[in-house]
């Protein structure tokens, strides 16, 4: 379903980004050239994920986890390498990005589902199910600005998961809303996994990763540190992390003295 071959993504970090013509012209006349550093957010990542597999992506902040998700969902085109993704993708990435405050809940369902690439007919077919799952029937004609953040998250979750995806992309947020809805959304994701939907899950919570994923990819500074079965990778990762913490603790008194 997902095949990545030698995928690399680079960000150009410009020393001071010049966004005005004036700054460009002045600096050009002064003979200054823009200093650019290249940061490889991902370098030579290869991975192969088939039907029914769920992959946890772990690593410290800035390791490239979210960039990897963006490559797979097509937001970013890699500088090098091949990406092949088959099937329909449902992104659960910062769920509310596609909403509009001033529109009603039902208008937002149409807007958000069409952002995911669905046709009018497909949305109409799923509309009632989306409303039912979100438990927002009484508020569906109310503008979104009067919703609580939990309600918005519930609506977004319901839309993204009611579209029969072949692949689910989850960035941190596994469960949303109150305790009851959290349970419900967890169950739905597990149900997806049991049905054979491919799941990509970025998280810092090793317990959640162990519960949901059969494979784990450990990223560090854009490179794969380790990849394999969940019960092999996670202990290694935790040992590495606690080792790092020990180093920091043992060196910190010295740093204070210095």
Please give the residue ranges that form the binding site for other proteins (CB under 8 A).
11-12, 19-22, 70, 73-77, 89, 91, 93-94, 97-98, 100, 102-103, 107, 110-111, 114-120, 123
Decide whether 20 or 249 has the Cβ nearer to other proteins.
20
In the complex, minimum distance from the CB of residue 32 to other proteins, in angstroms, rounded to a whole number: 18
User: Token pair of 116, please?
Assistant: 């995911």
Q: Report the nearest approach of other proteins to the CB of residue 116 (Å).
A: 7
Q: Which is nearer to other proteins, 82 or 115 (CB)?
A: 115
Work out how close the CB of 14 gets to other proteins at its nearest, in angstroms, rounded to a whole number: 10
Which contiguous run of DSSP H or E holds residue 246? helix 230-257
Count the neighbouring beta carbons within 10 Å of the beta carbon of residue 111: 15
Residues 142, 79: Cα–Cα separation, whole Å: 44
Alpha carbons 246 and 255: distance in angstroms, whole number: 14
For residue 155 the two structure tokens come to 């609506």
Of 121, 77, 112, give the one whose Cα is nearest residue 91: 112
Q: How far is the CB of 122 from other proteins (least distance, A)?
A: 9
- To the nearest whole angstrom, how small is the minimum distance from the Cβ of residue 119 to other proteins? 5
Residue among 94 and 164 whose Cβ is closer to other proteins: 94
- 84: CB partners within 8 A, 6+ apart: 2, 3, 4
Residue 228's DSSP bridge partners are 216
- In eight-state DSSP terms, residue 27 is H
Question: Is the CB of 100 or the CB of 132 nearer to other proteins?
Answer: 100
Q: Which residues pair with 89 in a beta bridge?
A: 167
**Residue 96 or 226 with smaller CB distance to other proteins:** 96
């Amino acid at each position: 379903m997902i095949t990545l071959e030698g995928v690399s993504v680079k960000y150009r970090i410009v020393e001071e980004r010049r966004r005005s013509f004036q700054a460009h012209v002045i600096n050009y006349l002064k003979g200054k050239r823009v200093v650019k550093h290249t940061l490889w957010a991902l370098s030579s990542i290869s991975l192969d994920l088939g039907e029914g597999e769920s992959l946890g992506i772990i690593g410290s902040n800035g390791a490239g986890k979210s960039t990897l998700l963006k490559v797979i969902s097509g937001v970013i085109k890699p500088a090098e390498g091949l990406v092949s993704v088959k099937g329909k993708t449902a992104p659960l990435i910062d769920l509310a990005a596609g909403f509009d405050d001033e529109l009603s809940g039902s208008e937002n369902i149409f807007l958000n589902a069409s952002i995911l690439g669905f046709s009018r007919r497909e949305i109409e077919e799923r509309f009632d199910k989306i409303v039912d799952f979100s438990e927002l029937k009484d508020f569906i004609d109310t503008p979104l600005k009067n919703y609580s953040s939990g309600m918005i998250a519930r609506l977004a979750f319901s839309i993204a998961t009611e579209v029969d995806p072949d692949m689910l992309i989850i960035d941190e947020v596994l469960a949303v809303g109150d305790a009851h809805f959290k349970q419900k959304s967890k169950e739905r994701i597990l149900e997806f996994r049991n049905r054979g939907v491919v799941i990509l899950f970025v998280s810092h919570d090793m317990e959640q990763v162990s519960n949901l994923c059969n494979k784990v990819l450990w990223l560090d500074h854009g490179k794969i540190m380790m990849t394999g079965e969940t019960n092999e990778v996670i202990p290694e990762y935790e040992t590495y992390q606690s080792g790092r913490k020990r180093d920091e603790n043992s060196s910190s008194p010295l740093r204070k003295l210095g």
